[in-house]
A = this chain, B = another copy of it.
Amino acid sequence: MSPNDTYHHGDLRAACLRAARELLEEDGSAGLSLRAVARRAGVSATAPYRHYADREALVSAVAAEGYRELAGHLAGAHPAPSTPDELAAVAVAYVQFALKHPGLFRAMFAEPCDPTSEERVAATAAISEYVRGIVRATFPDVDSDTLSTTVWALVHGLAFLHLDGKLDASTPEVVTTQVTAAVHALFNASPAMSTTAAAARPGV
């Protein structure tokens, strides 16, 4: 692939990230070892140390990448949601992302943020702010702190319960239906009337 395949790899940093994610999806967090990453990247066991201080640093980098991708995936579902239906579409995208990358998603949330990885902390804060922004846009008159916490928790819980086999995740369709129904249940409105729900209950 690279001009010279022998000594210098070309972009080992990115290759490690890719290998780490593959391992995460194949064997879960336990399968993610620096040695396995090196093996998969076709490189000696110690080569990754040129790019990552230790295993923890690699895991943090993977998680941070996951956060960035999740943010992109959500934005892809709808660039600027401002109705309950649009918000529900973003919720579906969140759960879909978790189901598509279960190993990555677990790694992102499996532990409290490593406080020494500012890359990771920033990524978490960005997601949190993003959710808050959507909720504010959708329900401008509502206490957005409480409601955005509620929305995030609901969607996050749906993601994990599906991931862990606690809810039926056999087809993408059934997942979409469940997530949409749950989000609409939160807004206490049927899908048909949901776009007017915010206006109908301005003082909540």
Contact = CB atoms under 8 A, between A and B. Distances in A.
A113 B165 contact: yes
Contacts of A110: 106, 164
Count of chain copies: 2
B158 A112 contact: no
Q: Is the interface of A mostly helix, strand, loop or mixed?
A: helix
A69 to B, nearest CB: 18
Interface string A180-201: 0110011010000000000001
Contact of A160 (B124, B160, B186, B204): B160
Contact of A188 (B149, B178, B204): B204
Contacts of A178: 146, 149
Contacts of A164: 109-113
Contacts of A163: 112
**Most chain B beta carbons < 10 A, residue from A166, A181, A188:** A166
A12 interface: no
Interface string A123-145: 01000100000000000000000
